[in-house]
Each structure stands twice: as structure tokens, then as C-alpha cells.
Structure 1
């Protein structure tokens, strides 16, 4: 693990997984609309949304997908990871009050490039609402070990002087 508690490339095995969960609130939807500028009536106008195919308001797809980002940032790979890409397939709507469970699973490891491919899935009540795949860049213990070795060499040289 790195100094922030995230995984280094040497820590990964195919199949490793982690989940982060969040209940999508009314406040989340309103704040996301304000921050993103996405004021689609499907998200903020109940009267309009009731006459659509969804029969009521739904959360923004990208708000729901942001739970994947939280799983990547906080769980696997965790702190220090850099998102490089994310594909998303929206399978079902998420409504205010739904709890979204984002699971990330290591699918491929590219040790030489310090990159990991993650299968990403969001579920609500056991049903997939988003599927996708992420490419994430991570760190390595090797540079940290080289830096530590150099510091040790300097300390030894200083003691000898």
C-alpha cells in the first residue's frame, strides 16, 4: 500500500474487488443539478417526470456514476489512483432515496504501465443500474524503495563524515 493507504501496482490480483455505497438524496440531486448545470426536468420537476416513461423523478446518470468514482478513490485502488477512462452503460433509473452500491473488480493488470482495468457495476436492490469499465493509473513501491535506499545511503555517508 502507498503512504495514503491506497494500493500500489504490486498489490493487485485479478478478481480483487471493493464496494462503496451511497443513498441518493433529494439534496444530492438538487446540488448536482446546480454544480453540473444539468437542470433536466426529469431530475427536478416531479409533475413533468410523472408523465414520462419513468413515472417520476430520477437521479442524474452521472450522479449515480459518481459513486463508482468514490469506490475508486476511497476503496480500490484507493488514495493516489488517477482515473484515466470510464465507460458506462445505463441499465435502469435511480430514484431519490435509492441506495447505490458501486462495486469495482480488478479485471486486468498492466504492471509495466502501472495501470489496472476495473469492471465497474452499480446496483440498487440487487439489480444492475450501471455497468462499465474503468482504466486507472496507480503508483508503485519500487520508486519509494529507491528513494528510501538513497536516503539511507546519504545517512550512512553523513555518519561516516
Structure 2
């Protein structure tokens, strides 16, 4: 592992995984709404949320999904990673106070193209709330050293 660039493509292997977790707060919903401009009442207004099929306010799906990006950019492969593609299936709502755990697992390493494919999943307790797959461009030690 290169501490400045995370794991290089040459260091990755199928089955490697990493995760992070965060408890979603009311403040997170307000801040995410401000950044994303998604002020849908189902995220912002408990009273309105109670009138929906969810029976209360829910977090923005992309707020929970952003934890996947945090794992990819900070842990596996880590700094220097470039996101290329992400599929997401939203399976269950996340509510303020829920702790979301995002986990990524290396599914395929394409060393000649510096690409890595990872399974991505977010859970609250034992319940899968989001799953999908990411494709990334990883850093390469060989390419970095060849450029010196």
C-alpha cells in the first residue's frame, strides 16, 4: 500500500474488503439537502413523512450511498482512486438515527487497464438498504515508477 495513493492495482486481489459506518443525524439531512438542493419534504418534514408509505422522515438515498464513495476514496483502493461507474439498488429506507455501514469487496482486478470492480453494499443492522457494483480506476506503482 502506498500511503499517499492508497492501494495500487498491483496490491489488489479478489476478496479484499473495507468498510465504514456512520449514524445518520438530523444535521446530516439538513446539510445534505443544502449541498444537493434536494429538499424533498419526505427528507425534511416529519409530519409530511408520516403521511407517506414510510410512516416518517427518511434520509436521502444518495446520502447513504455517499458512504460507499468514502470507503473507496479513503480505504480501498484509497487515495488516488477515480470513480468510473456505480450501480445502486435502493432496497430499504434509512431513518435519522440509523447507523449505516458501507462495505466494498473486490470482485475483479483488471491490472492491464488499472481497473477494479467491487461489490458495494450498505446495511442498517442486518438489513441491506443499498447494494450495487462500482468500477474504478486504481493507481499503478509500475506506471508511477515508469514515469520517474
Q: Is the 8 A contact 1:19 1:71 kept in 2?
A: yes
Cα distance in 2 between the residues matched to 1:35 and 1:42: 17
Count of residue pairs the alignment pairs up? 148
Contact 1:30 1:44 in 2 (8 A): yes
Alignment of 1:11-22 (within 5 A): 11-22=11-22
Question: Would you say the 8 A contact 1:32–1:63 is kept in 2?
Answer: yes
Q: Provide the alpha-carbon RMSD of the alignment.
A: 1.1
- Consecutive aligned runs of 4 or more in structure 1 exceeding 3 Å deviation: none
TM-score by length of 1: 0.89
Within 5 A, what are the aligned runs for 1:57-136? 57-136=57-136
CA deviations 1:88-122 (Å, max 9, x no partner) are: 00000000011110000000111110000000000
1:101, 1:124 within 8 Å by CA — same for their partners in 2? yes
Unaligned runs of 5+ in 2: none
Instruction: Give, in angstroms, the shift of residue 3 of structure 1.
Output: 4.5
Contact 2:5-2:139 within 8 A present in 1 as well:
no
Which ranges of structure 1 fall in alignment gaps of 5 or more residues?
149-161
- Largest Rg, 1 or 2: 1
- The structure whose residues are more often helix, as a share, is 1
